């Protein structure tokens, strides 16, 4: 395959505003008074707590185990005491609460003895390496939060030839991956090599947007010209960091609609995930902290910070200089795909890559939607080659079959269509609504199907019990009839015997008496 870049359809060139937060290297945030660690920080089943209030824990000690294969373990981000296992508000657009383990750090930062790594990971089998990734609770750190061990196990029949490492970081404002690549290029590449070994991939391709020259130079130098590991610059065009878009940019391959990269022999992992894999395998450290970009015109000292999982947003923002008078909105993630939260009393999780404190002038003015004018601008910029206006009409009409015919689930919610729409239609809101309705219907169908199966099993059991009762009753009746017949036969025989004795006593002879009565 050639080393050229294969541009994807659509996309937009946006004002990156990245320089705001890249003036200083990431610095550690001091421990807060309390860490609130959610049990559900990933796609899949929530982890199950294994600690109780009052229990002392060491840094890196498991505090919740994975509840199934598509789940991720959770570890103590600091040594201290568990003070509660309870529901707490978590980062979510709705402001919902979810179960969390609350820890009061003791400041000693003593690591759990189970946190042991090995520099000689090449000596370990792929399965053993994958088990270490799983035990460390690593999830995709680019924002999706899919458990990494699952992605590193594409299953039999899916040979992986290429590992794509995503350092594109295309969304405006966010710079945590850029700063990670600048400061820890060896860790990123060693993590990539470990994942390459797990997957048995022939080559590694690292994709970085051209507006990160320092990161490109650092990774290229760390790569040292290895023939099976290439660091490539990709054009600055949002959403080049979308999994499908980056795979296309680097390989020219298209991930099939509703398919997975593994279907075409590719696995894509974020640079932050790669570094976390390296830290888990080489140093034995589970995923207990991450780099978070704190930026925007509403924060006094935009920068990147190394933040323990469970640290309240308010604490992180305070260590970036605090709010300015201009602060108007707090967004988790970037301006295109992030979501606003109403409170900063929620904790950083494994997938929180950016806290954008938007100043008044950075907040998008309220939309004034007008009817669609069928201009087609949305389709021109859609990187998934969808027809956003059709999706909008069918989502709005609640025609969930048609909206799926138009491949709603290929929509990556990048927001390009809504940004260019002259009618200011909140297109992505409609797509999210349609997806959640379809998932709800799907869950309802599954519930109804389970209920139907339960009902059928119940009816079958009643029918079986009725049939068994009837069979028992028939058998009882048969036995009674047989008994009566036997009793009648005995009575008859006795009667005949009595008659015989009477005849003999009278000296007569009963006709037909003989062997048949014996």
> Least CB distance from residue 95 to ligand SF4, whole Å?
24
Nearer to ligand SF4, 284 or 388 (CB): 388
Is residue 292 a contact residue for ligand SF4 (CB under 6 A)?
A: no
Q: What would the two tokens of residue 477 be?
A: 């009746």
Nearer to ligand SF4, 288 or 428 (CB): 428
Is residue 509 a contact residue for ligand SF4 (CB under 6 A)?
A: no
Q: Euclidean distance between the first and final Cα of the chain, in Å?
A: 103
Task: Name the β-bridge partners of 230.
Answer: 205
Contact region for ligand SF4 (CB under 6 A) — 213-221, 311-319, 366-374, 445-453?
A: 366-374
Q: What would the two tokens of residue 224 be?
A: 């040292």
Task: Name the β-bridge partners of 87.
Answer: 99
| Alpha-helical runs (H) found in 184-312 | 185-199, 213-223, 243-251, 271-282
Instruction: Name which position in 102, 163, 412, 434 contacts ligand SF4 (CB under 6 A).
Output: 412
Of 115, 157, 138, the closest CA to residue 195 belongs to 138
Of 283, 255, 279, the closest CA to residue 267 belongs to 255
Site for ligand SF4 in 372-391 (CB under 6 A): 372-378, 381-384, 386, 388-389, 391
How many CB atoms sit inside 10 A of residue 438's CB?
Answer: 17
Is residue 177 a contact residue for ligand SF4 (CB under 6 A)?
A: no
Is residue 246 a contact residue for ligand SF4 (CB under 6 A)?
A: no
> Least CB distance from residue 242 to ligand SF4, whole Å?
8
> Least CB distance from residue 172 to ligand SF4, whole Å?
15
SS3 110: coil
Is residue 416 a contact residue for ligand SF4 (CB under 6 A)?
A: yes
> Least CB distance from residue 10 to ligand SF4, whole Å?
7
Site for ligand SF4 in 429-468 (CB under 6 A): 431
Query: How far apart (Å, rounded) are the C-alpha atoms in residues 142 and 177?
Result: 9
Is residue 428 a contact residue for ligand SF4 (CB under 6 A)?
A: yes
Instruction: Name which position in 411, 430, 434, 435 contacts ligand SF4 (CB under 6 A).
Output: 411
CB 76 within 8 A of CB 245: no
Nearer to ligand SF4, 69 or 439 (CB): 439
Is residue 421 a contact residue for ligand SF4 (CB under 6 A)?
A: yes
Contact region for ligand SF4 (CB under 6 A) — 37-45, 229-237, 243-251, 422-430?
A: 422-430
Contact region for ligand SF4 (CB under 6 A) — 72-80, 118-126, 151-159, 410-418?
A: 410-418
DSSP string, 393-448: HHHHTT-HHHHHHTTGGG-----HHHHH-TT---HHHHHHHHHHHHHHHHHHHHHH
CB 220 within 8 A of CB 245: no
> Least CB distance from residue 265 to ligand SF4, whole Å?
24
Torsion angle in degrees (nearest 10) through CA of 17, 19, 25, 30: -40
Is residue 238 a contact residue for ligand SF4 (CB under 6 A)?
A: no
Contact set with ligand SF4 (CB under 6 A): 372-378, 381-384, 386, 388-389, 391-392, 411-417, 421-423, 425, 427-428, 431
């Amino acid at each position: 395959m050639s080393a050229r870049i294969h541009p994807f359809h659509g996309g937009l060139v946006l004002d990156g505003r990245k320089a705001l937060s890249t003036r200083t290297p990431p610095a550690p945030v001091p421990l807060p008074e309390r860490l609130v660690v959610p049990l559900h920080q990933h796609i899949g089943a929530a982890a199950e707590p294994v600690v109780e209030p009052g229990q002392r824990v060491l840094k890196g000690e498991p505090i919740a185990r994975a509840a199934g294969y598509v789940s991720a373990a959770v570890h103590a981000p600091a040594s201290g005491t568990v003070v509660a296992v309870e529901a707490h508000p978590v980062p979510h657009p709705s402001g919902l609460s979810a179960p969390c383990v609350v820890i009061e750090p003791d400041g000693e930062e003593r690591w759990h003895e189970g946190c042991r790594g090995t520099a000689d990971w090449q000596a370990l089998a792929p399965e053993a390496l994958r088990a270490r990734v799983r035990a460390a609770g690593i999830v995709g750190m680019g924002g999706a939060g899919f458990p990494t061990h699952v992605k590193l196990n594409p299953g039999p029949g899916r040979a992986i030839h290429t590992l794509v490492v995503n350092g594109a970081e295309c969304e405006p404002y966010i710079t945590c991956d850029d700063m990670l690549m600048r400061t820890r290029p060896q860790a990123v590449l060693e993590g990539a090599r470990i994942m390459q070994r797990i997957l048995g991939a022939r080559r590694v391709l690292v994709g970085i947007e051209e507006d990160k020259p320092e990161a490109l130079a650092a990774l290229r130098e760390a790569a040292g010209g290895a023939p099976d590991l290439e660091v490539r610059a990709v054009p600055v065009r949002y959403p080049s960091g979308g999994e499908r878009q980056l795979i296309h940019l680097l390989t020219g391959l298209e991930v099939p609609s509703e398919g997975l990269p593994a279907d075409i022999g590719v696995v894509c992992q974020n640079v932050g995930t790669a570094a976390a894999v390296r830290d888990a395998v080489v140093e034995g450290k589970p995923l207990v902290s991450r780099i978070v970009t704190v930026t925007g015109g509403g924060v006094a000292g935009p920068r990147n910070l190394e933040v323990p999982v469970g640290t309240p947003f308010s604490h992180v923002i305070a260590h970036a200089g605090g709010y300015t008078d201009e602060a108007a909105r707090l967004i988790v993630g970037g301006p295109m795909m992030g979501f606003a939260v109403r409170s900063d009393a929620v904790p950083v999780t494994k997938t929180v890559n950016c806290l954008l404190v938007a100043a008044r002038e950075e907040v998008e003015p309220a939309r004034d939607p007008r009817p669609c004018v069928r201009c087609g601008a949305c389709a021109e910029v859609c990187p998934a080659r969808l027809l956003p206006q059709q999706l909008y009409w069918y989502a709005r009409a609640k025609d969930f079959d048609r909206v799926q015919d138009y491949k709603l689930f290929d929509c990556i919610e990048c927001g390009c269509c809504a940004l260019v729409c002259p009618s200011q239609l909140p297109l992505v809101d409609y797509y999210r609504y349609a997806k959640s309705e379809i998932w709800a219907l799907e869950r309802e169908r599954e519930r109804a199907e389970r209920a139907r199966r339960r009902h059928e099993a119940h009816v079958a059991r009643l029918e079986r019990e009725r049939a068994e009762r009837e069979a028992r009753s028939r058998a009882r009746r048969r036995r009674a009839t047989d008994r009566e017949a036997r009793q009648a036969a005995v009575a008859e025989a006795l009667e005949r015997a009595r008659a015989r004795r009477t005849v003999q006593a009278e000296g007569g002879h009963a006709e037909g008496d003989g062997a048949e009565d014996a």
